[in-house]
Amino acid sequence: MLKEQLEKIRNSATAALDSLSTNEQLEEARIKYLGKKGELTAILKQMGALSAEERPVIGQLANEIRADIDSKISQKVQELKQKEIEREINSMPEFDVSLPADIAGGSYHPITLVQRECEDVFKSMGFTVEDYGEIVSDYECFESLNIPKHHPARDMQDTYYLENGQLLKTQTSAAQNAIYLKYKDKLINDGVPIKAIFPGRCFRNEATDACHENTFFQMEGVMVDKNISISNLIYFMKTMLSEVFKKDIRVRLRPGFFPFVEPGFELDISCLICGGEGCPSCKHSGWLELCPCGMIHPEVLKMGGIDPEEYTGFAFGLGLTRLAMMKYGIKDIRDLNSGNLKALSQFMGNE
Ligand code: FA5
């Protein structure tokens, strides 16, 4: 009897998960099937009435079904995320890759244009712009960021390794440790806050599609001083984005996990298409995901020679390539690395 009910739950959960198309529906399904008051829990509550032989059999089946639904939910989360990015890019202003090329003169690459714009804004707020290598050590890219060997967070960032054990950096965060060590004495002895941004090329060994490349740009920013709080982070991000998009941008933070920040966030900006009122490109939520960030983890500060009892700081990792795509309405990330003159010449005359 319970066995049939469990199979029914499995079938109905599979059908529901296959057909749903929004995060809200996904959350409803999760609560319905796996929540404390969900269907599976209701069955488990009846197990007390089972015979000693039946109990382990039904218990095992219930666990299998829970694991099955759990894994389907994780798959669906990824699928919805991917669709959201695609929808965001598709709803951008048209950028026509086939327009004729004007190759009489040179032009800056769109990523360079956006990078310089961001640098100017941060420089005007007292940040230094740092340059950093593309080949780094495991310590710089992972261990100094509180990501020890075998930490599951490494799975998200596979990269290209050199025979000597060095690697192509997967994130601009790889420069954090060196920046702290470079400026810590000024901070501690002279009270000069660390305020630095470091744009750079990053590499990940992953399949490419319209919104993912194996080579892309990020721009990291850190600020460390006494009494730095999340409000400082919000202020700097809001100012930078408003300048880049030339209009007042509203931002909000949602929880996000990165081992080198605590708490960690995903920063969303109010949708640029509908102005935050809600439209298909923002899934009627009025918000778009743009930049992971958070308060620097005490362990990361310690490894940078800074006492976390005395100093706090924020860090953010802006996807510069993504920002350039949004700003210029470039729908396929691969156009940026293609060296296609027809595409790139459209930015001529920009500065
Ligand atoms: C990071 O790389 C963190 N280092 C960011 C960070 C910094 C968090 C400081 C907290 C504090 P993530 O893997 O989500 O996080 O990448 C950040 C951004 O880089 C993404 O939002 C996206 O815009 C861009 N990005 C990541 N992978 C790719 C890719 N394959 N192609 C293009 N852009 C990418």
Q: Which pLDDT score, from 0 to 100, does residue 227 have?
A: 95
Q: How far is the CA of 160 from the centre of ligand 1 (A)?
A: 17
Residues forming beta bridges with residue 254, ordered by sequence position? 266
Residues paired with residue 258 on neighbouring β-strands, in sequence order: none
Ramachandran category for residue 53: left, alpha or beta (phi over 0 → left; psi -120 to 50 → alpha): alpha
pLDDT of residue 307: 98
Q: Is 0.75 topped by the overall pTM? A: no
Q: Report the distance separating Cα 199 and Cα 109, nearest Å.
A: 15
On the question of a cis peptide bond just before residue 263, with omega within 30 degrees of 0, the verdict is: yes
112 CA → ligand 1 middle, Å:
18
Give the residue, out of 151, 213, 218, with the most ligand 1 atoms within 8 A of its beta carbon, to mutate for a pocket test: 218
Query: In angstroms, what is the span from residue 145 Cα to ligand 1's centroid?
Result: 14
What confidence tens digit (pLDDT) does each residue in 102-130 have? 656 677 888 999 999 999 999 999 999 99
Q: Among 88, 171, 261, which is best to mutate for testing ligand 1, by the most ligand atoms less than 8 A from CB? A: 171
**Mean pLDDT calculated for residue range 53-81:** 87
Q: Give kind and range of the element (H or E) at residue 242.
A: helix 230-245
Span 181-220, pLDDT tens digits? 999 999 999 999 999 999 999 999 988 887 788 999 999 9
* Whether residue 281 has pLDDT greater than 60: no
What average pLDDT does range 270-277 have in this prediction?
Answer: 75
pLDDT of residue 263: 95
Nearest CA to ligand 1 atom 27: 212
Atom of ligand 1 nearest to the CA of 291: 21
Does 128 or 81 have the greater pLDDT score?
128
State mean pLDDT over 42-54. 82
Give the residue, by CA position, lying nearest to ligand 1 atom 10.
Answer: 293
pLDDT of residue 130: 95
Pocket test for ligand 1, best of 216, 230, 326 (most atoms within 8 A of CB): 216
Count CA atoms closer than 13 A to 339's CA, side-chain side: 0
End-to-end CA distance of the chain: 73
Atom of ligand 1 nearest to the CA of 320: 23
Token couple for 259:
């081992």
- Judged by DSSP in three states, 72 sits in helix
Strands (E), the chain: 128-129, 135-136, 167-168, 194-203, 215-225, 251-255, 261-270, 287-296, 312-319
- Counting ligand 1 atoms within 8 A of each CB, the residue from 156, 322, 334 with the most, and so the one to mutate, is 322
Q: What is the pLDDT of residues 301-333, one digit of tens each?
A: 999 999 999 999 999 999 898 888 877 777 778
Q: Is pLDDT above 60 for 342?
A: yes
- Ligand 1 proximal residues by C-beta, below 6 Å: 171, 173, 204, 206, 212-213, 216, 218, 220, 258, 261, 264, 292-294, 315-317, 319, 321-322, 333
Looking at per-residue confidence, does 210 or 162 come out higher? 162
- As a whole number of angstroms, the distance between CA 239 and CA 230 comes to 14
